[in-house]
């Protein structure tokens, strides 16, 4: 067992602004994973970290201890280079769906171990489960086989990867310690390092609908994660991307799948296509694939072919009709003009109130619930035209969603200004 520590001493060290030693960190993470440190003690330590921060050395050691709390996946038997993407979570962020088949089309293996939604941000697995028959749970052998045969896989992360992080993640959500840069960075990177990918591209969201509201905070988080990945031997890059307004025109599970398929068919919203191609280009460069026309693979149907093969490989029917909500209602523009702002956070919470998200881990969600954005930032709208279409199976949910959307959108009679590039910065 080595040297024994006391949880209270570790908490006091951080509470008083001290630096935790390697031994203290290894002990407290290991003991928490085994159940020898209680949730209330880890809650106190998480709050102390939230308030006092961590040094670069502490963050690196904390991340390594979380990786070492469980198993690691091994993709060394694959002939292809492996590259993954992680988004820090946003509203209408369906990018993983077209991105994985697009990158896989160029002969690169994409092991995308994804999660479920919590709060106002949607989960990739929840979206894909609106496709009839699609299965999120694969064994490690099945993941390897699908990467070998198809090139891409989107599935649930196994419970054996960074189990200490899984416990701490659920705890942070209910103790007000989610938006701490050391805790976010170590949580994301411990899972990604344990996953065993050789390269990683991070999509760090910034704006009203993101955990990081300001560009300096987002840059700090991105730099921290890139350093953690690089130190662990993973080629890591980050893009800072705009989450001041929702991505695309849909928020909600089946609605977002429909929009992702439009992108794979060579259409779809400009911002979703821009971010998909931008992330794919970074991922392919990490894998040594350069000088290719990434956008052409969306236009000519190659990425769509890979998508259909991926969905079928996991039991889904890519050609089946997606579920549709039993009820819908409209919110109409009160005046004419141009949309200059749309608060992503409010749109995300309204979709959640319609049934698209969950209030606690394991709660059921409604595949059909969500919001269609009829007019986006920079577009003209006439008074009385639909601004939002609200979808749900339970019409009693409309009132609270409408309340949340009240004041979410600014319409200006004069300002005809299109949304600028969704990619704000790069960190390497």
Q: Is the pLDDT of residue 221 over 90?
A: yes
Question: Mean per-residue pLDDT for 348-377?
Answer: 90
Q: What is the pLDDT of residue 1?
A: 44
Residue pair 276/258 in contact by the 8 Å Cβ criterion? no
- What distance lies between CA 281 and its chain's CA centroid? 18
Active-site option among 166, 191, 353, 419: 191
> Tokens 């050789």 correspond to what residue?
198
Q: Is the pLDDT of residue 361 over 80?
A: no
Q: What is the pLDDT of residue 379?
A: 94
Active site residue 165: yes
Q: What is the pLDDT of residues 155-197, one digit of tens each?
A: 998 778 899 998 998 888 788 898 899 999 999 999 999 999 9
Give the phi and the psi of residue 387 in degrees, each rounded to 5: -100, -45
Residues of the chain within CATH 3.90.1170.30 domain(s) are 327-412
Considering the segment(s) 327-412 as one domain, its CATH architecture is Alpha-Beta Complex (3.90)
**CA–CA distance from 181 to each of 28, 85, 156 (Å)?**
20, 19, 24
Q: What is the pLDDT of residue 316?
A: 98
103's tokens: 């990158």
Question: Mean per-residue pLDDT for 316-327?
Answer: 98
Q: What is the pLDDT of residue 73?
A: 92
Q: Is the pLDDT of residue 283 over 70?
A: yes
Active-site option among 64, 86, 205, 237: 86
Identify which of 99, 131, 130 has the alpha carbon closest to the alpha carbon of residue 112. 99
User: Considering only the top CATH level, what class is 7-53?
Assistant: mainly alpha
Q: Is the pLDDT of residue 21 over 60?
A: yes
Q: What is the pLDDT of residues 63-104, one digit of tens each?
A: 999 999 999 999 999 999 999 999 988 899 999 999 999 999
Length of the chain: 428
Active site residue 130: no
Active site residue 244: no
- Measure the CA angle with vertex 287, ends 289 and 281; round to 5°: 60
Active site residue 86: yes
In the chain, % of residues over pLDDT 70: 97
Neighbours of 68 (CB within 10 A): 16
In the chain, % of residues over pLDDT 90: 86
Identify which of 346, 181, 136, 332 has the alpha carbon closest to the alpha carbon of residue 251. 346
Active-site option among 43, 69, 87, 187: 187
Q: What is the pLDDT of residue 119?
A: 64
Identify which of 97, 192, 177, 117 has the alpha carbon closest to the alpha carbon of residue 356. 117
Topology (CATH) of 83-313: Pyrimidine Nucleoside Phosphorylase; Chain A, domain 2 (3.40.1030)
Residues of the chain within CATH 1.20.970.10 domain(s) are 7-53
Q: What is the pLDDT of residue 355?
A: 93
Active site residue 167: no
DSSP summary character for residue 81: P
Residue pair 206/219 in contact by the 8 Å Cβ criterion? no
Half-sphere exposure of 158 (CA within 13 A, CB side): 16
Active-site option among 165, 242, 271, 343: 165
End-to-end CA distance of the chain: 39
Active-site option among 167, 172, 237, 346: 172
Question: Mean per-residue pLDDT for 21-38?
Answer: 95
Q: Is the pLDDT of residue 314 over 70?
A: yes
Half-sphere exposure of 46 (CA within 13 A, CB side): 29
Q: Is the pLDDT of residue 384 over 50?
A: yes
SS3 content of the chain, % helix, strand, coil (to 5): 45, 15, 40
**CA–CA distance from 95 to each of 92, 108, 119, 284 (Å)?**
9, 17, 19, 16
Q: What is the pLDDT of residue 319?
A: 97
Identify which of 391, 128, 94, 134 has the alpha carbon closest to the alpha carbon of residue 260. 94
Neighbours of 337 (CB within 10 A): 17
Average pLDDT, the chain: 94
Identify which of 270, 246, 241, 211 has the alpha carbon closest to the alpha carbon of residue 409. 246
Least trusted range by pLDDT, from 205-214, 243-252, 272-281, 364-373: 205-214
| Strand, coil or helix: 355 | helix
Residues of the chain within CATH 3.40.1030.10 domain(s) are 83-313
Q: What is the pLDDT of residue 35?
A: 94
Q: What is the pLDDT of residues 111-142, one digit of tens each?
A: 998 887 766 667 899 999 999 999 999 999 99
Neighbours of 171 (CB within 10 A): 17
Q: What b/e sequence results for 28-43 when a residue is b if at least 16 CB atoms lie within 10 Å of its CB, and e otherwise?
A: bbbbbbeeebeeebbb
Identify which of 129, 128, 124, 102 has the alpha carbon closest to the alpha carbon of residue 113. 124
């Amino acid at each position: 067992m080595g040297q024994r520590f006391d949880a209270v001493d570790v908490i006091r060290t951080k509470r008083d602004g001290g630096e935790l030693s390697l031994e203290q960190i290894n002990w407290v993470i290991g003991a928490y994973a085994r159940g020898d440190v209680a949730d209330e003690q880890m809650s106190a330590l998480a709050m102390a970290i939230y308030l006092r921060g961590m040094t670069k050395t502490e963050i690196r050691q904390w991340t390594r201890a979380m990786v070492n709390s469980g198993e690691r996946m091994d993709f060394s038997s694959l002939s292809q280079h492996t590259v993954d993407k992680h988004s820090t979570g946003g509203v209408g962020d369906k990018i993983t769906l077209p991105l994985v088949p697009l990158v896989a089309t160029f002969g690169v293996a994409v092991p995308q171990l994804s999660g479920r939604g919590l709060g106002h941000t949607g989960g990739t697995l929840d979206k894909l489960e609106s496709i009839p028959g699609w299965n999120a749970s694969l064994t490690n052998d099945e993941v390897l086989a699908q990467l070998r045969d198809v090139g891409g896989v989107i599935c649930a992360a196994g419970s054996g990867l960074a189990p200490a992080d899984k416990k701490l993640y659920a705890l942070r959500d209910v103790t007000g310690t989610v938006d701490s840069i050391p805790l976010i960075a170590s949580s994301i990177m411990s899972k990604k390092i344990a996953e065993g990918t050789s390269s990683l591209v991070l999509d760090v969201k910034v704006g009203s609908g993101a955990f990081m509201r300001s560009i300096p905070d987002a840059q700090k988080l991105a730099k921290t994660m890139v350093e953690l990945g690089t130190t662990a031997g993973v080629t890591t890059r980050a893009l800072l991307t705009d989450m001041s307004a929702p991505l695309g025109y849909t928020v909600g599970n089946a609605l977002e799948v429909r929009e992702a398929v439009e992108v794979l068919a060579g259409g779809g919203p400009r911002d979703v296509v821009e971010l998909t191609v931008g992330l794919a280009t970074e991922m392919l460069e990490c894998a040594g694939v350069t000088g290719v026309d990434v956008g052409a693979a969306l236009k000519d149907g190659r990425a769509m072919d890979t998508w259909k093969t991926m969905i079928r490989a996991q039991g889904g029917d890519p050609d089946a009709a997606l579920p549709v909500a039993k009820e819908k209602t409209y919110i109409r523009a009160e005046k004419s003009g141009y949309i200059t702002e749309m608060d992503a956070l409010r749109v995300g919470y309204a979709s959640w109130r319609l049934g698209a998200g969950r209030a606690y881990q394991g709660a059921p969600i409604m595949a059909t619930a969500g919001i269609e954005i009829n007019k986006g930032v920079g577009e003209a709208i006439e008074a009385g035209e639909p601004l939002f279409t609200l979808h749900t199976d339970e019409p009693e949910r409309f009132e609270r969603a409408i309340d949340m959307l009240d004041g979410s959108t600014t319409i200006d009679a004069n300002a005809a200004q299109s949304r600028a590039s969704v990619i704000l910065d790069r960190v390497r």
